[in-house]
Amino acid sequence: MDFARAGRAVLAPLAPALLAGALLAGCSDNPVPTDVSPASGVAGQIGRVVIRNLFVLGGEGGATIKQGGSAPVYLTMVSSPSSIESSGISGSSAPSTGSDTLTSVSSPQASSTELIGGPIRLPAGQDVQIGPAPRIVLRGLKNDLSPAQFVLINMRFERSGSGSLNVPVQARQGDLQSYSPAP
């Protein structure tokens, strides 16, 4: 008797039911709480720089930051490695390290923006997290800033060019309590 063939003949019709049971296991109307929080910000890409969890930190416990005040910007960036980068000469190319540099940040909702410590270098393929200490600060807010608002953030990179993202303002509470307000 061929046990392998007999086993397949019995289990094959049951496979969809077994798979559905495994996928639904643990599902209920009362989800189990976890320590994992959803990301606070938005994601996007400017050139070859991938941006994750970009947000503006609002006031303590949901308080409004008043007009004229300052607000820090937090995010994670990674410059995707590239095997070939144009050298600027037609038909010529040179190997690239894939690294990049964030050279400036601006917002129409702020009089100025400060990159504390200067431009931010992004080594190829490595996550560069800005936070929990501020490195990017919106200065001289033109209007009050409250949680649940959105702020347009313009970013310029040395190699990837520039782009804009509409970024949420998150209250400094819960998981974001460890992030510093603007200096």
Q: Which residue has the higher pLDDT, 92 or 168?
A: 168
pLDDT value at residue 12: 52
The pLDDT, as a whole number, for residue 40 is 74
- Residue percentage of the chain with pLDDT more than 90: 67
Q: Which residue has the higher pLDDT, 6 or 148?
A: 148
Kind and range of the H or E run holding 121: strand 120-122
Report the top-level CATH class of 40-178.
mainly beta
d(CA 25, CA 28): 9
How much is the CA Rg of the chain, to the nearest whole Å?
24
Can you give the residue ranges of every domain in the chain? 40-178
Residue 180: its pLDDT value, please?
94
Query: Which whole-number Å values give the CA distances from 29 to 17, 26, 32, in the listed order?
Result: 21, 10, 10
Average pLDDT of the chain, as a whole number: 80
Q: What is the pLDDT of residue 98?
A: 87
**Positive/negative CA dihedral, 115, 169, 53, 84:** negative
Do 44 and 163 contact (CB within 8 A), yes or no? yes
Q: What is the pLDDT of residues 86-138, one digit of tens each?
A: 333 333 344 456 899 999 999 999 999 999 999 999 999 999 999 999 999 99
Average pLDDT of the segment spanning 52-69: 96
Secondary structure class of 149 (helix, strand, coil): coil
Q: Quote the pLDDT of residue 2.
A: 57
The model's confidence at residue 5, banded by pLDDT at 50, 70 and 90, is low
Q: What is the DSSP letter of 37?
A: P
* Collapsed DSSP state (helix, strand, coil) of residue 84: strand
pTM over 0.75: no
Q: Which of 50, 42, 49, 36 is nearest to 170 (CA)?
A: 42
Token pair belonging to 163? 């782009």
As a whole number of angstroms, the distance between CA 2 and CA 5 comes to 6
